[in-house]
Structure 1
Amino acid sequence: MEGRTPVLIPKRLKKGDTIGVIAPASPPDLDNVKKAIPFFEKKGLHVRLGQHVANTYGHLAGTDEERLQDLHNFFKDPEIDGIICAGGGYGTARIADAIDYDIIKNNPKIFWGYSDITFLHTSIRQQTGLVTFHGPMLGSDIGKDTFDDQSRAMFDQLFSPETLVYDENFSPLSVISKGEATGEIVGGNLSLLVTSIGTPFEIDTKGNLLLIEDIGEEPYRIDSFLNQLRQAGKFDDAAGIIVGDFSESDPKKEASLSLEEVLRFYFARLNKPVLSGFKIGHCLPHFAIPLGTKGSLSASDKKLTIEPGVE
């Protein structure tokens, strides 16, 4: 990757602001989307749904043009102060090369989601420098009865510049490789990071802390993904690795390596900090973090410290 785009930090939210909700991937659970709206209203925010959020086009939440239109419109609209995705699934990579990144660069604002949204986190950050947020969404998380208080509290970081500290007070952490490192946090869903290889939006890990997480992938599949990133040089380039949650990853056959064995094979000899056990991903509680800001990962302290994602 040639040069590094300067970091662009979005403005914080304040009471009275309006967030726009878009569905850039699969059709979201609309009942859960509606149930999630009061969560934001209690924080003093107005909520406006994108024009095409309820659309369906096969396995997509509307055509590529419709999903792209909602994203462009909300970034251009001065009355929208932040954009939060309704859900993930599949589809964001289809629109990545059609996005007008100048619209985003000229109208920087909070952009929040995870899972399939990983492709947009990567493309937006690398094309514009905008810090985005890896966190729970309306249809897949916030609108469910199981959405917990710790996950709810993570949205507070959008209202004031807040240094986040993740240590074992939140969950047990395991050291796979020792070391200390600082760098911009990049990454997200592992399978989406792999699909970026060979595209104009290939994940750039050079000098960065790489976050990986996934859901529903057996150890042999995770092995395949990690092997591709290894052979593409992404682990050698990275300053450190943040291993998030890998839910529903138990092998379906007896003859299988464990997830722990797979992770240790790829990371134990890297001579840079690699820690696992972070509740970041398809899990509850869900520790939401900004992507593109500086982080410090310490194996000796078992701690990840993250600079604020808003100004």
Structure 2
Amino acid sequence: MKKRRFLQTVGLGVLPVLGFSQPFQKTSLAKKLLPNALKPGDLVGLVSPSSATADLMQFTFAKEAMEGLGLKVIEGKHLRNRNGHLAGTDQERAADLNEMFANKTVKAIVCIRGGSGASRILPLIDYEIIKKNPKPILGYSDITALHNAIHSKTGLITFHGPNGSGNWGKFNVDQFKSVFFEQNDNIHFENEVEETEDLVIKENRIRTIFPGKAVGDLVGGNLTVLTSLAGSPYLPSFKDKILFLEDIGEEPYRIDRMMSTLMLMGVFEEIKGFVFGQCTDCDPSGGYGNLTIDQIFDDYLLPHKIPAYRGAMIGHIPKQFLLPFGAKVMLDADKGTITTMQPIFEQSR
């Protein structure tokens, strides 16, 4: 599924040294808020904060996937609406999200898909309702806008992972059950390695950009969506954070442009560690002098000497990590692992 193609970016300048930057903005710091725990048999709400779903079977697939995980399902009132490319008006999509957080019988919220448009509803979200009713919300791609806004405004730990109508094969099902049902304090995310007849394992390999370990709260998401929030009050502080990114359908020069936005914001001076997942369909279209993705990451990250690697199972891929956004984690750039360092659920209920 494709994300937005339009960006609400700030103007970019050219600096002689990529390691140089100035802090771009500061956001208010919200105290970390743990969501209430989820258990089999709980009621989850399906919402569509972004693009409309044209294939009606996708609603069936999402509902059956949640039921297959042992959960009950309620649909948002406007889930099946359409307004141009969006899943209803801004007011309708925000209303579904607010109502799901307010509804105490709903124990978690699952976004049916990404696409484009979640950033339009950020001013319409009732963040006070979310603070009073902390519960897990799951999704990725355009849902990056919700993860960043909700965490920055409330401190709530959210979950970056498969959308409701996405892939629910064994790997993703096991990730879901491990994160939500087993509720371990130390969840270990490491690429699955599949052996083939080839002498060399080539799938799901990681590349260490700069070695070492780092500990910090995990923030990030889709690179295009993240940078489209630049200059807004809906980004968390990047101070001492572990930044994770992924993208799809962006040529290297566009990745470079967006990485330069983060550089100009001062992000790489503030973070403690960096991990890039997959850049699906990001090959250059042709022409001379294309920077490779590896060269781009080296240019922006190596001057700061922070632990960093690429190739994690994060992004627009069938098998993907289900990451707790905002949770304290340890990143090991040599081994290519992310491990949670704290409880990620409130155990009171």
Q: TM-score, normalised by structure 2?
A: 0.84
Identical-residue share of aligned pairs (%): 37
Among 161, 170, 173, the residue aligned to 1:149: 170
How many pairs are equivalent?
306
Among 286, 293, 310, the residue aligned to 2:327: 293
The answer on whether the counterparts of 1:165 and 1:305 sit within 8 Å (CA) in structure 2 is yes
Among 184, 206, 209, the residue aligned to 2:217: 184
Among 304, 307, 310, the residue aligned to 1:273: 307
User: Which residue of the partner structure matches residue 266 of structure 2?
Assistant: 233
Among 282, 287, 290, the residue aligned to 2:316: 282
Local SS of the residue matching 2:119: helix
User: Which residue of the partner structure matches residue 297 of structure 2?
Assistant: 263
1:63 aligns with 2:97: no
- With over 3 angstroms needed to count, the CA separation of the structure-2 counterparts of 1:168 and 1:67, relative to structure 1, is closer
User: Which residue of the partner structure matches residue 107 of structure 1?
Assistant: 133
1:10 aligns with 2:35: yes
Q: Distance in 2 between matches of 1:65 and 1:122?
A: 20
Amino acid of the residue matched to residue 214 of structure 1?
D
**Alpha-carbon distance, 1:6 to partner:** 1.6
**Alpha-carbon distance, 1:2 to partner:** 5.6
Q: Distance in 2 between matches of 1:2 and 1:194?
A: 15
User: Which residue of the partner structure matches residue 15 of structure 2?
Assistant: none
Q: Distance in 2 between matches of 1:283 and 1:38?
A: 21
User: Which residue of the partner structure matches residue 160 of structure 1?
Assistant: 182
Local SS of the residue matching 1:269: helix
Q: Structure 1 stretch 273-282 or stretch 2-11: which is displaced more?
A: 2-11
Q: Which ranges of structure 2 fall in alignment gaps of 5 or more residues?
A: 1-25, 194-203
Q: Structure 1 stretch 31-40 or stretch 223-232: which is displaced more?
A: 31-40
Q: Distance in 1 between matches of 2:123 and 2:27?
A: 18
Structure 1 vs Structure 2 CA RMSD = 1.5
What are the equivalent positions in structure 2 for 1:212-251 lying under 5 Å apart? Answer: 212-251=245-284
Q: Distance in 2 between matches of 1:279 and 1:33?
A: 26
CA deviation vs aligned residue, 1:231-289 (integer Å, no higher than 9, x gap): 11011111111111110101111422221221221122321101111011111211111
Q: Distance in 1 between matches of 2:244 and 2:117?
A: 21
Q: Give runs of ≥4 in structure 1 deviating > 6 Å.
A: none
Q: Distance in 1 between matches of 2:312 and 2:231?
A: 28
The answer on whether the counterparts of 2:140 and 2:161 sit within 8 Å (CA) in structure 1 is yes
Q: Distance in 1 between matches of 2:61 and 2:189?
A: 29
**Alpha-carbon distance, 1:42 to partner:** 2.6
- With over 3 angstroms needed to count, the CA separation of the structure-2 counterparts of 1:301 and 1:138, relative to structure 1, is closer
Amino acid of the residue matched to residue 225 of structure 1?
M
Greater Rg by CA: 2
Local SS of the residue matching 1:138: coil
User: Which residue of the partner structure matches residue 198 of structure 2?
Assistant: none
Q: Structure 1 stretch 237-246 or stretch 215-224: which is displaced more?
A: 237-246
Q: Structure 1 stretch 200-209 or stretch 63-72: which is displaced more?
A: 200-209
What are the equivalent positions in structure 2 for 1:1-150 lying under 5 Å apart? Answer: 1=26, 4-28=29-53, 29-139=55-165, 141-142=166-167, 147-150=168-171
